[in-house]
């Protein structure tokens, strides 16, 4: 448990960690005071906005600052644009975490867990998360990966908060790890990122320090953590247009998707068939070579 940073301390941490930031006018005193507690704080929650945003500053200054018709702002403390810019939206209690699992809160407070957190309570039957967590809204839909610049900034922003409070990477969680109603931050519709991988990358960033360069994040070739650790065999993955064009009559590819299980099984089957075909071809070539040798010898003998 910790006393929340002041607005001035938050800005100092952003500067210390070299984050590019923009202050939305009024942010330092903009909060939900009088509508619940603020502090002690225990951690930092990552969110996605649920929409792709073209003008990061305008979105932060309007939707995130003012809120929605049924949810007054601020809707976060920080927001990250597609270019990695951090927007300061509000300070104090903010409407971002909502209700969540008390067991998750206990784990974050104690920093005694490993792996992905799986909450069993949500907004309607959980405990107040707005009192206990800082929150960042990363400006993307969640239906695809965030940009590389956003992921780098989110890791560095997390490290800045952890550094101030002396917390470990286990104080950083996804909204979908806090509330059973949520799945953000996502990488494909309805699927939360592999947060253990996120935490490993945050740990590396924190260990490298404000002026250091952390080891390359565990992206698996993408811009955000490997989806493999958060994917099941029944998940559907999108196939390329080329694949559908090659087999236009394949009804299994009609919707442009194929399950991981089918893809792996199909890949194995085709690879094995190809391997067996190559073996058979090698045998045929060897037999042909032997026949040519015999024929050559026979022709030579006849000529003699």
Q: Give yes or no: residues 121 and 36 share one domain.
A: yes
What is the span of the domain harbouring residue 246?
232-304
pLDDT surpassing 70 at residue 237 = no
Provide the mean pLDDT of the chain: 87
Q: Average pLDDT for residues 212-226, to the nearest whole number?
A: 57
Q: Give yes or no: residues 143 and 246 share one domain.
A: no
Which ranges constitute the DSSP H helices of the chain? 7-16, 56-59, 65-66, 102-110, 148-165, 175-178, 195-208, 241-246, 260-303
pLDDT surpassing 90 at residue 16 = yes
Q: Is residue 2 part of a domain?
A: no
| Structure tokens that stand for 273 in this block | 């068939």
Q: Is residue 25 part of a domain?
A: yes
Report how far residue 280's alpha carbon sits from residue 289's, in angstroms, rounded to the nearest whole number. Answer: 14
Q: Where do we find the tokens 């940073």?
A: 5
Q: Give yes or no: residues 35 and 167 share one domain.
A: yes
pLDDT surpassing 60 at residue 84 = yes
Q: Give yes or no: residues 198 and 265 share one domain.
A: no
Q: Give yes or no: residues 93 and 204 share one domain.
A: yes
Q: Give yes or no: residues 17 and 92 share one domain.
A: yes
pLDDT > 90: what percent of the chain?
69
CATH of the domain at 123: 3.40.80.10
Q: What is the CA 15 to chain-centroid distance, rounded?
A: 25
Q: Give yes or no: residues 58 and 171 share one domain.
A: yes
Q: Give yes or no: residues 72 and 14 share one domain.
A: yes
Report how far residue 109's alpha carbon sits from residue 115's, in angstroms, rounded to the nearest whole number. Answer: 16
Q: Give yes or no: residues 70 and 100 share one domain.
A: yes
Q: Is residue 204 part of a domain?
A: yes
């Amino acid at each position: 448990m910790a006393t929340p940073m002041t607005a001035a301390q938050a800005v100092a941490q952003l500067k210390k960690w070299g984050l590019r930031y923009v202050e939305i006018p009024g942010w330092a005193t903009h909060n939900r005071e009088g509508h619940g507690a603020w502090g002690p704080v225990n951690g930092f929650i990552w969110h996605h906005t649920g929409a792709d945003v073209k003008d990061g500053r305008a979105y932060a200054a309007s939707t995130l600052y003012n809120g929605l018709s049924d949810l007054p702002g601020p809707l976060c403390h920080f927001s990250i644009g597609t270019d990695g810019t951090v927007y300061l939206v509000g300070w104090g209690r903010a409407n971002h975490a909502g209700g969540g699992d008390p067991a998750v809160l206990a784990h974050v407070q104690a920093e005694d867990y490993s792996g992905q957190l799986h909450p069993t309570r949500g907004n309607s039957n959980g405990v107040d998360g707005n009192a206990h967590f800082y929150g960042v809204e990363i400006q993307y839909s969640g239906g695809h990966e965030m940009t590389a610049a956003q992921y780098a900034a989110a890791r560095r922003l997390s490290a800045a908060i952890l550094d101030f409070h002396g917390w470990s990477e286990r104080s950083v969680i996804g909204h979908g790890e806090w509330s059973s109603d949520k799945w953000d931050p996502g990488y494909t519709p309805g699927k939360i990122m592999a947060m253990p991988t996120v935490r490993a990358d945050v740990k590396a960033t924190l260990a490298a320090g404000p002026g250091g360069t952390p080891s390359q994040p565990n992206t698996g070739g993408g811009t955000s953590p490997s989806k493999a650790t958060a994917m099941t065999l029944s998940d559907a993955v999108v196939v390329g247009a080329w694949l559908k064009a090659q087999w236009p009559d394949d009804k299994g590819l009609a919707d442009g998707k194929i399950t991981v299980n089918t893809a792996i099984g199909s890949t194995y089957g085709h690879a094995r068939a190809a391997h067996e075909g190559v073996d058979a071809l090698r045998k045929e070539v060897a037999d042909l070579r032997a026949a040519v040798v015999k024929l050559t010898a026979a022709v030579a003998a006849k000529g003699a």
